[in-house]
Amino acid sequence: MVRVKHRYLLVQILYPSPTSPLSKNTKPPPLDTLAIHGPTADTINAGLLSRIIREKIEDLFGDYGAGAVGSSLQIKYLSNATSTFIVRCARAVVRLVWAACTFIGALPVGDRGGGRREEREVVMQVVRASGTIRKCEEEAIRRAKALMGRVKGLEAMRDAGITMDSKGSAGVIDEEMQDDAGDNEEDAVMADDDEEEEEEDDDVD
pLDDT in tens, 77-120: 999 988 999 999 999 999 999 999 999 999 987 666 666 678 88
Cα 81 to Cα 31: distance, rounded to the nearest angstrom? 17
Q: Does residue 149 form part of some domain?
A: yes
Mean pLDDT to the nearest integer, 31-43: 77
Q: CATH no. for residue 81?
A: 3.30.70.3250
* pLDDT of 121 over the 70 cut: yes
Q: Does residue 109 form part of some domain?
A: yes
Best CA proximity match to 186, nearest among 101, 78, 73:
101
- Beta bridge partners, 121, equal 106
Q: Does residue 205 form part of some domain?
A: no
Q: What is the mean pLDDT of the chain?
A: 76
Q: How many domains does the chain have?
A: 1
Tell me which residue range forms the domain holding 135: 6-193
Instruction: Indicate the pTM of the whole model.
Output: 0.69
Q: Does residue 128 form part of some domain?
A: yes
3-state secondary structure of 55: helix
Cα 159 to Cα 169: distance, rounded to the nearest angstrom? 14
Go through the chain and tell me how many residues it has. Answer: 205
Q: Does residue 204 form part of some domain?
A: no
182 C-beta neighbours (distance < 10 Å), count = 9
Comparing 115 with 202, the larger pLDDT belongs to 115
Q: pLDDT tens for residues 190-200?
A: 545 444 554 54
Mean pLDDT to the nearest integer, 14-18: 80
